[in-house]
Chains A and B, each alone.
Chain A
Amino acid sequence: MLTETPVTQNSKSSPSIRARIQAGGGFLTNMVLPNIGAFIAWGILTALFIPTGWIPNETLGSMVGPSITYLLPLLLAITGGKMVAGQRGAVMGAIGAMGLIVGSDIPMFLGAMIIGPLGGLLIKKFDRLIENKIPAGFEMVINNFSIGILGFLLMLVSFSFIGPVIESANQFVTSAIEALVATGFLPLLSLINEPAKVLFLNNVIDQGIYYPLGMQQTLEAGKSIYFTVASNPGPGLGLLLAFTFFGKKVSRRTAPGAIIIHFFGGIHELYFPYVLMKPLTILGMIAGGMSGIATIQLFGAGLVAGPSPGSIFAYLALTPNGSFTGIILGVIVATIVSFIVTSIILKLDKKPEVEEELTNSIEKSKAMKSEGKNILNSSEDVSNQSSGVEKISFACDAGAGSSAMGATTFRKKLQKENINGIEVKHYRIEDVPKDSDIIVVHKNLLDRTKMSFADKKIISIENYIGDPKLEDLINELKG
């Protein structure tokens, strides 16, 4: 114990605040990432089948709207609710999101990401409140009706709340853009455009403000820059490229696919989830958007009509002679700037990402401390997991009853099968030795065990005696 190095101690105890901030960021990421696949499916569908898509098809295209209105927000809300309160939270999240979805006329991504966890939290608090107070036999009824009634209320609240919110957001965006246009310094528009796009207010600004302005200008000058201010595919491309090179895990692997759908298909929604999981990257989008507008303005370039969808092909098709340099450079510069800024953000963010693992190791070191184990022994010997099982630990709350019963029964079975050299003991959950090869615990206690022993092989059983999983284990040990 004396040789325990203070260095590891410090590095493990200090990041608590950073780790907590990181936990918030990780939360968003975890809510979005599992659902990227659905975004991609929707993106492909949209790029192909909408009227301006590659192979327009009215029948198949009819899935586009409902998918982005219902499927994607619901998935986000379900994942968010589930992360807070398991399956019950997921149900609550979905119910709450439904109020938002129907109550608004734009896809409710951000709203779903708020209402999902909120619904989860609500049911979690309620469950805590009535814990131990349910008369026996009424658990099912109460569990279902608590979700039913609370969900019903949440639905009403979110439904009546969201309409006014969206309306005032629209009004704010519209008047802000009008004020900015009045200044004549167009790059500033990105300050509003980029956040508004991610919040699905892009149609409001594009079709409500920029296209009318653009058409007016086109009548006089034959082209307009207003068609490009919010539809430039460059910033999104830069962002996705940055994720491709510097993103983590799944986000890194999915970004290239998203690029194709975004840049060539013009479905900008594909980059939204990446911004939503690392909100700071909106800075990269703004910087990219600004530099794109500045470049196009510098060259006096413009498009002849609103590019929809905003793909590079639509851009080139709508570029009048003489504007090609400006438009192409505008896209390229926007891409590069957004790539650089986003990369820096992702790079800076990397440290906390490592801390995700660090947080785990804090948990681990806590567990070790509580059992008074030497930290120096912490070199995980994952090596002998499948082959040489030497220590099986049965765990329960008291560490004296059911776990002991399970352990002694299991020892007898091993004896009967003539399997030697395996230590089978029973412990309180928090006292389970770090070097156990396998931890056996009742399924009701699994979550608690996982918290302390995330990296261990844990077998969860229903019965301490004669559980089929224990029979399987015996057979495994025999072989």
Chain B
Amino acid sequence: MLSKHLESNVVFSKRVSSWEEAIKVASEPLLNKDFINQSYVRDMIENVHKYGPYIVIMPGVAMPHARNEGGVIKTGISFLKLDTPVLFPEEKEVGIVIVLAAEDSSGHMDLLSDLSSLLIEEDIKYKLENAQSEEEIINLIKMVE
């Protein structure tokens, strides 16, 4: 499931100027495919401004998302890997940004479940952090699916 969703949705970047930028870059694949529109990107950034970096779900990994208030057209997920981590508020270093766009509150559960299995394993998380290509990442995911 997850591996399919991530196909051609993985972005690599050397560095970004700010965490806002990181969210924008990570959203690009979903924007290009019309899964989400600009307002959703704004909402995700706004959320962090409002509530703090709670979307940093574990050290090094951020999962920006927001309520779907018309900004999500289709459930999807995209993945940004940064060579140089970016700082989120409260000095949180993030190297992996996973944009989650959920059409409703249930349709994406198996995606999250896979994602959770992926991140829960220390060594897989480590490999993710050091992956160099989309193929590598997709293969890692297939291992746990």
What mask results when residues 85 to 128 of chain B are scored 1 for a CB within 8 Å of chain A, else 0? 00101000000000010101100110011011101100000000
A342-398 at interface with B (beta carbon < 8 Å):
396-398
Instruction: Determine how close the nearest CB of chain A comes to the CB of B27; give it in whole angstroms.
Output: 14
Q: Does B65 contact A (CB under 8 A)?
A: yes
CB atoms of A444 and B102 under 8 A apart: no
Interface size of B as a range: 35 or more
A243 at the interface (CB under 8 A from B): no
**In the assembly, what is the distance between CA of A318 and CA of B75, in Å?**
88
How far is it, in angstroms, between the C-alpha of A444 and the C-alpha of B115 when the chains are bound? Answer: 23
> Interface of chain B, helix or strand or loop or mixed?
mixed
Task: Report the minimal beta-carbon distance from B123 to chain A, rounded to whole angstroms.
Answer: 13
For residue B36, give the distance in angstroms from its CB to the closest CB of chain A. 13
Instruction: Select from chain A the residue with minimum beta-carbon distance to B67.
Output: A398
Contacts of B31 in A (CB 8 A): none
Q: When the two chains form their complex, are residues B120 and A465 in contact, meaning their CB atoms are under 8 A apart? A: yes
Chain A residues with CB below 8 A from B10, complex form:
none
Residue among A139, A400, A408 with max Cβ neighbours from chain B (10 Å) = A400
Q: Is B133 an interface residue (CB 8 A)?
A: no
How many Cβ-Cβ contacts under 8 Å join chain A to chain B?
99
Could you tell me if A405 and B120 are in contact, using CB atoms closer than 8 angstroms?
Answer: no
* A463, B94: Cα distance in complex, Å: 13
For A197, the chain B residues whose CB sits under 8 A away are none
Closest to B45 in A: A132
Evaluate contact between A442 and B20: CB separation under 8 angstroms.
Answer: no
Residue of B nearest to A134 (CB): B49
Residues of chain A with a CB closer than 8 A to B49's CB: 131-132
Q: Which residue of chain A lies nearest to B88 when distances are taken between CB atoms in the complex?
A: A136
Q: Does A401 contact B (CB under 8 A)?
A: yes
CA distance A248 to B119 in the complex (A): 52
Assess the A463–B52 pair: CB atoms within 8 A.
no
A242 to B52, CA, bound (A): 47
Q: Complex formed: what's the CA distance from A131 to B47 in Å?
A: 12
Given contacts A397-B54, A467-B58, 10 further A-B contacts (CB under 8 A): A132-B50, A397-B50, A397-B66, A398-B68, A398-B105, A400-B104, A402-B54, A443-B54, A463-B57, A465-B57
